[in-house]
Amino acid sequence: MSTTERSVLRVLVADDHAPTRCDVRQALDGDPRFKVCAEAMDAPRAVQSALRERPDICLLDLRMPGSGLATVWEIRARLPEVKIVIFTVSGSDTDLFAALRLGVHGYLLKTMNLRRLPDALHGVSTGEAAIPRTLVARVLRQFRGGEPSWRQPAEGTPWRLTSREWEVLDLLAQDQSTAQIAGRLVISASAVRVHVAAITRKLEVPGRAAAVELFRQRPTA
C-alpha cells in the first residue's frame, strides 16, 4: 500500500435516508483525502459494517432505525480507536448532550453546507471537535454551570430532579414511549420506568401524565 493510500481517511456513512447518503458520498468522494468504505441504513448494519471495514470515521444519523445513540455505544465499546461524528437534523440539547456523554467526536447538523463536511471530518481525524458554533455556545453554558433555565427550581416548588430524570421527563413531554426513551438515552426500559417512578415521587403526582402536565406548566424564569 502506498503512502498516498494510507493517508486516505475511510468513512462509514450510516443514514436511513438514501438521498442523504448519496449527498454525503458525493461530498467526500470529491475530496482526495476521503473514501467512503461502506454505507448502512440502520443501526445493526452500521455496527456490522464498522466491525468489517474498521473505518477511520463513522458518520452516523441520530434517528436511524435501531437508534444512532445505541450505535455510538456499540462502536465505541468494540472499536474505541474509531472516530464517531453524529450527522442529524436535531439541534436539541437532549440529543446533543446525550451524544457527547457517549464520547462522540463531532455533532453536525444536516443543514450545514456539505462543501464544509470534508474539512470538518479531516479536523476530527487530527483531534479537533466538529461542532457548529451555535451548539458550542450551548456546551459552554452547560459546563459553566448554567443549566437551562427550565431546570432551575422555582422557590417553593419541588423541582429537585437529577439530570437524567430531567432528560426522561423532557422526552415524556415529547410524547416518547418507554421504549423510545430507552433507545434515545441508551438505557434499559426498566431503567426508564425507575426514573419515571422517581420523577412522580419527587413531584408528588400520581403518574407520568400528571408529571408531564406539571412540566409543561413549570416556571421558566
**Each residue of 52-92: pLDDT tens digit?**
999 999 999 998 998 888 899 899 989 999 999 999 998 88
Domain ranges of the chain: 3-142, 149-216
The pLDDT of residue 204 is 82
The Cα–Cα gap between 83 and 106 comes to: 9
What is the layout of strands, in order, in the sheet containing 106-109?
Answer: 34-40, 9-14, 57-60, 83-88, 106-109
CATH 3.40.50.2300 assigned to domain 3-142? The reply is: yes
- pLDDT tens digits for range 85-103: 999 998 888 888 888 888 8
Q: How many helices (H) and strands (E) does the chain have?
A: 11, 5
DSSP bridge partners of 108: 87
Please give the Cα distance from 169 to 184 (Å, whole number): 13
What whole-number distance in Å separates Cα of residue 61 and Cα of residue 139? 20
Largest CA distance in the chain: 68
Q: Which residues of 119-180 form beta strands (DSSP E)?
A: none
pTM equals 0.64
Look at residue 172 and tell me whether its pLDDT is greater than 90: yes
- Are 172 and 196 in contact, with CB atoms under 8 Å apart? yes
> What is the torsion angle, in degrees rounded to the nearest 10, for the CA atoms of residue 202, residue 208, residue 209 and residue 213?
40
Q: Is 130 exposed, middle or buried (0-12, 13-18, 19+ CB in 10 A)?
A: buried
Q: Tell me which fold the domain 149-216 belongs to.
A: Arc Repressor Mutant, subunit A (1.10.10)
Q: Calculate mean pLDDT across residues 6-18.
A: 92
Give the position of cell 468489517. 52
Amino acid symbol at 178: T
Residues sharing a CB contact under 8 Å with residue 172, sequence separation 6 or more, in sequence order: 181, 196, 208, 211, 212, 215
* Cα separation, 192 vs 161, whole angstroms: 14
Q: What is the pLDDT of residue 159?
A: 57
Pairing relation of β-strands 57-60 and 83-88? parallel
DSSP string, 109-135: ETTS-GGGHHHHHHHHHTT--B--HHH
**What grid cell was written down for 221?**
424564569
